[in-house]
Amino acid sequence: MIHYDQINNLPYEPRPAHDVSPRTLEALLGAVQAAANGKARAIAGGWGFSMAGTTEGTRIRTPGYSGLIEPDCLKPGVTSRPFDFDPIVPHETPGPVVRVLAGTTFGELNGLLGPLAVVNQPGFEDLTIGGVMMVGGHGSGIRRGNIASQVRSMDLIVVNAARQAQLVRIEAASDRITDRAAFEAKYPGALLQDADDAVFNAAKVSFGSMGVLLSVVIDTRPAYRLEEDRDLRSLWEDFEKLERQVREDSVSGVHLWINPYRVGADWKAVQSTYRRSLDMKRNERAWGIREADSPMTRKALRLVATKAPRLLPFALEYSLRTVDADDVVMQSPEALDFGPPNRLPVAASSCSIPADGLKEQLEQLLAHFKEGFGKTYVSSPIGLRWVKASDAYLAPQYGRDSVMIEVPVLNDTPHQQDTLERYVEFMVTKLGARPHWGQRLQLSPAQLRSIYGNEAVDTFIRVRRQLDPLAVFDNPLTRHLGL
């Protein structure tokens, strides 16, 4: 049995032998050096639900290591890459690149960027950029990649073959932005790894298995506003139109929240559609969003989930009706954050499936929930978000435009762990889905190779052996999967 902290979601078995919170580069190097004869693992905010952050050695907490620092040793003229997903402002100039310390939350980052904005962000502002990036975390938008896709350069603290803590800067050979001579002069003994794309594409989604992430250089764009329209809909009514909308130039992103249980003639869903807006901030989200974390809401949800779980289909149907609201204009950080629902105590699993052929796969998933009802219970609407294909070998979105399907289950719901395990097992074995590395998951080594392919897995392993030759950053998850 895996136990989870009450403050956040991090599994704490196996328990670490040591727990440190370095706040300077020297302290971080020292912490890694002190752990070089054993095992170590960095964790971010501890909001993940998986075993990715566990270690029996030294646990290095990074949230205190946060903020912006000057991007150093850049080649002349480096700026953010242009983007092509905002036709409303077709000639908008990309912003500068910025270097962000890995323990910086998106809420902190948005406050520090001032007139700038991140290209995309996850739905919870308390997540750190390093933590989200390393597990293949994402926002929404079929023309926007996962969070790792915004990264141009990453600084990693590794333990080399001489058992010395070493700073390694990793970039893609196809996008070198660091001046080698300047870097080697400033950081004697450090390594600039930019010989090929493979190291960068393996390391940027490696769930802490190759070293401790220090900082990343990311693209930015000028701050912008989004119009959010939330519409209650019958799920299958004109579903093809929804799939077309996802890819429309004028649409920044689409979220779909579905009652996993049918009440009446069709499943109900709320479609949240986001479009770039030049208007000023106006209106506010529906009360069902604003009050989602209120004491009364928590009490009511817990009562249904624990005492009357067979009423969940009706409670979820009602909850969807309380969030329907149109014409809400917000700054992008507010619009892309889910808001108060993030604070509800849940455990969750999320899986990636190809964006093509979604309807048939979603029909199978809903049939799975119907068949299990009474033995398993989903006590929250399930969420769908579309994400652009990734070049990171073990990102859930690797090589294909994807739909991420998240299944949250409120704490104290009967059979919570079994519900999530059955969901992941169904998605992996029946649909070939890839689980999110930061959420509840179970995989066998054979399943890992089946869903990612031998070439991607073998390349990841080769890079991991190169960056972590002594397996200092090994942990139960990597050992189980043969990574």
Q: Hey, what CATH topology would domain 225-442 get?
A: Vanillyl-alcohol Oxidase; Chain A, domain 3 (3.40.462)
Domain edges within the chain:
1-223+445-483, 225-442
pLDDT in tens, 6-50: 335 555 456 788 888 888 888 888 999 999 999 988 887 778 788
**Beta strand 165-170 pairing with 434-435:** unpaired
DSSP letter string, 385-444? EEE--B-STTSTTBTS-EEEEEEEEETT-TTHHHHHHHHHHHHHHHH--EE-TTSS----
389, burial (CB in 10 Å: exposed 0-12, middle 13-18, buried 19+)? middle
pLDDT of residue 44: 78
Average pLDDT, the chain: 91
Q: For the domain covering 1-223+445-483, report its CATH number.
A: 3.30.465.10
At 85, the pLDDT band (50, 70, 90 cuts) reads low
pLDDT in tens, 198-239: 999 999 999 999 999 999 999 999 999 999 999 999 999 999
24, burial (CB in 10 Å: exposed 0-12, middle 13-18, buried 19+)? exposed
Taking Cα atoms as reference points, which of 70, 72, 58 lies closest to residue 28? 58
What's the Cα-to-Cα distance from 1 to each of 13, 111, 417, rounded to whole Å?
9, 39, 10
> What does pTM read for this prediction?
0.94
Tell me the Cα Rg of the chain: 22
Handedness of CA 467, 469, 470, 474 (dihedral sign): positive
Same fold? 1-223+445-483, 225-442: no
For 164-245, strand residue ranges (E) read 165-170, 191-193, 212-218, 220-222, 225-234
pLDDT in tens, 385-412: 999 999 999 999 999 999 999 999 999 8
